[in-house]
Amino acid sequence: MKFPAWRQTIRFRLTLTYSAVLIALSALLLGGVYLALEQIFDPKPLNQIEVKKYYKDAQGELHLKPGQVIQAAELSSVQSAVNYQTLQSLRDYSAAGMAGLFLVSLGTGWWLSGRALRPVRRITATAQEISATDLSRRIALDGPRDELRNLADTVDDMLDRLESAFVAQRQLVDDASHELRNPLAVIQANVDAVLAHDDTPPEDRAQATAIVSRAIERMTRLVEDLLASARRSSPAFVDADVNLGAIAGEAAEEYELLAADRELHVVLRLDPGPTTVGDASALRRAVDNLLSNAVRLARGGSELVLAVGSRDGWAWIAVRDEGPGIAADDADRVFDRFFRAGQRQAPATVPSSGERRTGLGLAIVRQIAESHGGTVALHSELGVGSTFVLWLPERSLTSTTRRSPAPPEQDPLGPRPS
């Protein structure tokens, strides 16, 4: 048997609960009063007494007339009997009143439950109005700071996070589709114009194959960076004590040959002490991205500095290059996805298509830093070079060391030598 929809609502169940509790308490109270009074007003039976009249005759003698039997008792017994009859009437009237009270309680309970559930209906209406592409609606419930207000605020906070994630995801998809369009177009053009024809000269076929290979390599790097970015958006990474000097040293060894190919002089200043809590592989990727960026943009034969240290309770890893530098207008945008400051540089400083460059490297560095409770800072001078500093909460704090609320703003490597 299927009940009507209104009988399945919380409002209906709350109404029944209110009414049932009220009737139960009322019945308990009236029942207790009735039992107590019943013990007090214990009626006693009346005694039967025959009352006879008499008269005197002319001679002065008394004569009895036929008697009349009546019931008699003490005055207190009569009063007790009257009270008992009143108690019986009270019981009957109370039963009728309970029935009326139940009906009134249903109406009152329905109104009270509706008033109490009004914020819930508002939350439901707002949730129903939110679509998959528009998460801008908010409940914005006012009133006292009660459980429903906390629920509404929690839902609003959740919607804020969902909207931010959705906007970031949509921006990432749009940017990725834009970035993938060029290599796909290159592959399609070379396949249609060169590789699809059997009479294509071997040298043209080899050139087209190399171009397609570079385009595929670029797409592969882009997909890898996108996956790394997506993984850092989730909390599923392993926390452990990470020695920043150790991971910086490993990264320096890996990029030693690449730096040598460009005749770069790598200077290491690795303090073995600074330690942070986080994901070692993620932090290593951040250092790799900073080194890759520095090796790619540094002038041939220049100096590249990789340093590790700590200050004011913050551990840091700094990478300094002598490259083209970054304009002040681009300092904040350089960490955005797919932003390339090199597009504004001279042609000699723009990397070739074969170099590793997807426009996601610095964005991933910032994402990794923020997911570890830190940040990444840029100190750059156009035409001189740049210093990228990865600031992270230091794990190895002593009893006399306190962490400042925010990382220092100064370049930990100090001013560049003149």
- CATH code for the structural domain at 132-236: 1.10.287.130
**DSSP of 77-139:** HHHHHHHHHHHHHHHHHHHHHHHHHHHHHHHHHHHHHHHHTHHHHHHHHHHHH-BTTB-----
Bridge partners, residue 134, by sequence: 131
Query: What is the SS3 assignment for 340?
Result: coil
Give burial (CB, 10 Å; 0-12/13-18/19+) of 153. Answer: middle
> CA 120, CA 151: separation in Å to the nearest integer?
9
DSSP β-ladder status, 303-311 and 265-270: parallel
> CA 333, CA 341: separation in Å to the nearest integer?
9
127-149: per-residue pLDDT in tens?
A: 787 766 677 888 888 878 888 88
> Are 378 and 388 a contacting pair, CB within 8 Å?
yes
Query: What is the SS3 assignment for 307?
Result: strand
Max intra-chain CA distance, the chain: 173
> CA 86, CA 79: separation in Å to the nearest integer?
11
Instruction: Tell me the C-alpha to C-alpha distance, in Å, between residue 216 and each of 61, 183, 317, 338.
Output: 148, 7, 33, 18
pTM: 0.55
Provide the residue-wise pLDDT of the chain in tens; the chain has 418 residues.
565 666 678 888 888 888 889 888 888 888 888 787 777 666 555 555 556 667 677 777 776 666 565 555 556 665 666 677 777 787 888 888 888 888 898 888 889 888 888 888 888 888 787 766 677 888 888 878 888 888 888 888 888 888 887 877 777 777 677 667 767 877 888 888 776 777 878 888 888 888 888 888 878 877 776 776 666 555 445 678 999 999 999 999 988 888 988 999 999 999 888 999 988 888 988 998 899 889 999 999 999 999 999 998 899 999 999 999 998 888 888 888 777 665 444 333 434 434 445 567 888 889 889 888 899 999 999 989 999 999 999 986 655 567 888 899 899 999 887 6
Topology agreement, domain 132-236 and domain 238-393: no
Q: Which CATH number fits domain 238-393: 3.30.420.240, 3.30.565.10, 3.40.50.300, 3.40.50.620?
A: 3.30.565.10
How big is the CA angle at 307 (ends 305 and 309), to the nearest 5 degrees? 160
Instruction: Write down the domain spans for the chain.
Output: 5-49+67-116, 132-236, 238-393
Picking from 378, 385, 380, the residue whose alpha carbon sits closest to that of residue 407 is: 378
